[in-house]
Structure 1
Amino acid sequence: MRTIEANFDGLVGPTHNYGGLADGNVASAKNKGLISSPRAGVLEGLAKMKRLADAGLVQGVLPPHERPFLPRLRELGFSGSDKAIWDAAWAADPVLCRNLTSASPMWAANAAMVSPSADTADGRVHFTPANLHSTLHRSIEGPQTETALKAIFADDTHFAVHAPLPDQVAFSDEGAANHVRLCAEHGEEGVEILVFGRDAYEDYRGVFPARQTRQSCEAIARRHGLNPKRTVIVRQSQRAIDAGAFHNDVVCVGNGPVLFFHEFAFEDKAGTLAAIKAAAEDLFEPIFVEVPDSEVPLGDAITSYLFNSQLLSWPDYDRMVLIAPKETEECTSTREYCERLVAGNGPIGDVQYAEVRQSMRNGGGPACLRLRVVLSEEERAGVNPKCLMSETLYQELTAWGEKWYRDELGPNDLGDPALIVEAQGALDALTAILGLGRGFYPFQRG
């Protein structure tokens, strides 16, 4: 039975804007207050999905969340009609409102931690939606992500969708952005690498927040039923976090047996690589592709998002393909490194560049936009088929985005109550397209 790795990309939401809300995200801070284009953003994302689907890869879609998120305002004491609530909240606390309009669920790498059935004790694919405790605008995502995953992966004979970890600082969890799985073949037992930035019980003093705790990694490994012998829990480099690598996927990506990483990705590089080798013993020989800081300075790696790329096993090609953002091509050190990389005899044979500039300006590259899910043929048959990319779905979603999304959205436009009507109309239409059910979003439940 053939097992593949599918990519489920987050659709850019109708309220995509540059709020600069993420402390430690250099691109987000740099572009705060710029005029965004939600329409261009959703079309760029769809084009990337279509590109992979056309190449023969399995590509899925994750829906955006309801934004502005009025249920949170009701919890905080605002009442009345949607318009009355939004007008009152915008007048009283526009910073809160901006947090509740963020389209951050588009970065599906933060949606959940995923373990394939080959690695879990009960032989099911396990999902733990991230609680994203570290930031206000993302901390509201977990429950809706859980709803989405249960709608797409509904067959509980094959899938186990857990609730997010407790919404508490000790269990701060940022999802698959701090998770790498290595294996010989996708359907075989692999090594799961969970990366944390801090221990919840230590006195953390970094320049920027370390968003993932050791305790969250340990909890996820337990609830997914991972084999301790094949599980590696390691610390991200403090140097990388302080430079703006707010998630490990900004400095590291893996696929199959290959780990592609920056010299300063891990706090204890030698210990990390030795632990991975020990965990892979008798399964496969890990292949380490380390990028020296002398060739790609850490700052260039972070601003270009060289490692926030998709490293893929390409159909009918015996080497891997790296789907990198255009910014990697535009940065001299990373472009020249990529040219040397593919000219050699290593496992990565091609670098292709994708235009995801709307996402990049908010600090999210191609890898941020996707959640990787390893599926056997039987498991794939249990996935909601309307959420799998096809020519028909691409055309439907393109027309949908062109109809409902604004061409431009500025910081002050977020206070317009009409945006609520537009966003709800878009999401209402989307639930029909993706077969998610009429009560999928809170506003649809009355």
Structure 2
Amino acid sequence: MSQSAPDGSEVNVLEVNFDGLVGPTHNYAGLALGNVASMTHGGLEANPREAALQGLGKMKALMEAGYAQGVLPPQQRPDLWALRQLGFTGSDAQVLARTAGEAPQLLRAVCSASSMWTANAATVTPSVDAPDGRVHFTAANLQSSFHRFLEPATTSRVLTAIFRDEARFAHHPVLPATPAFSDEGAANHTRLAGDHGEPGVHLFVYGRAASGAGAEEDVVSRRYPARQTLEASQAIARQHGLTESQRVFAQQHPEAIDAGVFHNDVISVGNGPVLLYHERAFLDEQATLDELRAKMATPLIPIRILEEAVSLEDAVASYLFNSQLLSNPDGSMTLVVPGECQERESVWRTIQDHLLAGHNPIAEVVVKDVKQSMRNGGGPACLRLRVVLSAAERASLSGRVLLTEALHGELTTWVERHYRDRLAPKDLADPQLAEESLVALDELTGILAIGAVYPFQRG
């Protein structure tokens, strides 16, 4: 995991997984059309405390296993300013009560804790691939759903607060929040390379082309909307200075989208030279593989899972492909899967017989319980934003966001002190919940030392 500095010295390069902390208003609202798990569990009672502790447990386990682990804060929720923009007036308590009575779906949206899935926070290009030698970020506009459209402004402030050094980090404007530039972040972006510190090729996967060019009209999703556009992916590649030889654009298979694969990271995952994918992941599978092989400096290692081994239904239910694929110092890889993979016989058999026993770098499978997140439609890979950083870039991070034993302990205590252990949809109108959330977030920014990133802290 290294690259050479201009003076010939070795620069240690690591992939840091920045996981999103689950927010205090974590609830099951069923807001995400096309996300089967979210729609299935809508209206059930959630446990915010358990959700946050499960996320922290995964982070701690990976840190203890030797992987670089970071933390990103949740959003300010409920977003009362959004409700005031929509015409609700009065005190905070009155705004909440009126929204609950007149538009309960809006109340659920402004209380969503969906920012926990930081794979949607942004798209990132490491410095080794950028023409100016800086790490590039574009926060996702998430315009396809109202509850997520509320996130980009705070996400941009958080990323800028942490990756503050302008000599090492570049932040680009969020793309225009229109259907033509619908952007869902790194959930539809995979970087493939021989090693994290080596130049890579960027695979951008889109569900539709807004202009009609680059996607066939008769092969588009019918049941659920395609969220990522080709135009958005192309714009991000331009922002980050990626050349033709560094990028591949591939259309997601419409049948996968209609089966509940709302993001590409629900049907494929890549790491280093390995691309683990379902045979229905890409509309033109062979052309995608051929172009990756032609542009990668290191031979591509594709791991193809047949539908007869794992159906689309089982892939979506288990989130096999929404697992974290992590590099080890000896060249092997570890696959971190959700507990639901053990509950599907075909999936668990495929893991044992095809992945662990196959001729590929995957040498270990680790099972993690993130059930609170899974019920809302987010697995291990949804919970993290991958940022490749050199030692100097890690040292220049602002705030206290790289996980340590001490920070994990403080965050655990913080969750146990501030989070409720049950939250039903009717509880979202409780003004006390809003107050509890603000108190918790104000304390959190102090723990993480990231400054005033929330609207209520900025007046």
What TM-score range do you get, normalising by the shorter chain?
A: over 0.9
1:184 aligns with 2:212: no
What corresponds to 2:6 in structure 1?
none
SS in 1 for 2:148: coil
What is the aligned counterpart of 1:344 among 358, 361, 366? 358
Select the residue among 278, 287, 300 that pairs with 2:314: 300
Identify which range, 330-339 or 68-77, moves more after superposition. 68-77
Alpha-carbon contact 1:13-1:106 (below 8 Å) kept = yes
User: For residue 183 of structure 2, what is the aligned residue in structure 1?
Assistant: 173
1:40 aligns with 2:56: no
SS at match of 1:5: strand
Structure 1 Cα separation of the partners of residues 25 and 195 of structure 2: 39
Residue identity matched to 1:354? K
**Does structure 1 conserve the Cα–Cα contact (< 8 Å) formed by 2:175 and 2:232?**
yes
Q: Is structure 2 residue 69 aligned with structure 1 residue 59?
A: yes
Identity fraction in percent: 53
3-state SS, counterpart of residue 256 of structure 2: helix
> Residue 149 of structure 2: which of 133, 139, 153 is its match?
139
Q: What SS is found at the alignment partner of 1:138?
A: helix
User: Matches of 1:168 and 1:33 in 2, distance apart?
Assistant: 29
Whether contact under 8 Å (1:305, 1:365) holds in the other structure is yes
The residue that corresponds to 2:268 in the other structure is 252
Superposition pairs of residues 111-126 of structure 1, within 5 angstroms: 111-126=121-136
Contact 2:139–2:155 (CA under 8 A) maintained in structure 1:
yes
The alpha carbon displacement at 1:87 in A equals 2.1
Counterpart selection for 1:10 from 15, 20, 23: 20
Equivalent residue, structure 1, for 2:333: 320
Q: Is the 8 A contact 1:120 1:227 kept in 2?
A: no
1:270 to 281, 286, 290: 286
Among 89, 92, 96, the residue aligned to 2:106: 96
Matches within 5 A, 1:187-206: 187-202=197-212, 206=222
Instruction: Choose the corresponding residue for 1:401, options 411, 415, 418.
Output: 415
Counterpart contact for 1:119–1:227, Cα < 8 Å:
no
Structure 1 match to 2:428: 414
- Per-residue CA deviations over 1:155-211 (Å, capped at 9, x if unaligned) read 111111222101111000000000000001111110000000001123655210100
Counterpart of 1:444? Answer: 457
Distance (whole Å) between structure 2 residues aligned to residue 377 and residue 58 of structure 1: 11
How much has 1:420 moved relative to structure 2? 0.4
State how 1:274-289 maps to structure 2 within 5 Å: 274-280=290-296, 283-289=297-303
Rounded Cα–Cα distance in structure 1 between residues aligned with 2:150 and 2:430: 21
Q: Counterpart of 1:106?
A: 116
Equivalent residue letter for 2:228 = Q
CA distance in 1, matches of 2:340, 2:124: 28
Asked if structure 2 preserves the Cα contact closer than 8 Å seen for 1:182 and 1:190, the reply is yes
Q: Distance in 1 between matches of 2:128 and 2:360?
A: 27
Instruction: For 2:371, give the aligned amino acid.
Output: R
Quote the residue 2:395 is aligned against: 381
Q: Distance in 1 between matches of 2:321 and 2:247?
A: 22
Distance 2:181 2:379 in 1: 26
Pair 1:211-2:224 in alignment: no
Once the two structures are TM-superposed, the CA of residue 90 in structure 1 deviates from its matched residue by: 2.2
Task: Report the Cα distance in structure 1 between the residues aligned to 2:272 and 2:317, rounded to whole angstroms.
Answer: 26
CA pair 205-40 structure 1, distance change in 2 beyond 3 A: closer
Normalising by the residue count of structure 1, what TM-score does the alignment of the two structures yield? 0.97
Distance 1:82 1:435 in 2: 28
Indicate if the aligned counterparts of 1:71 and 1:442 stay in contact, CA closer than 8 A: no
Match of 1:162 among 172, 175, 194: 172
What SS class does the counterpart of residue 167 from structure 2 fall into? Answer: coil
After TM superposition, give the deviation of residue 86 of structure 1 in Å: 1.8
Distance 1:331 1:108, change over 3 A: same
Deviation at 1:385, TM superposition (A): 4.7
What is the aligned length?
A: 442
Deviation per CA, 1:197-234: give whole Å up to 9, x if none: 00112365521010000000000000000121120011
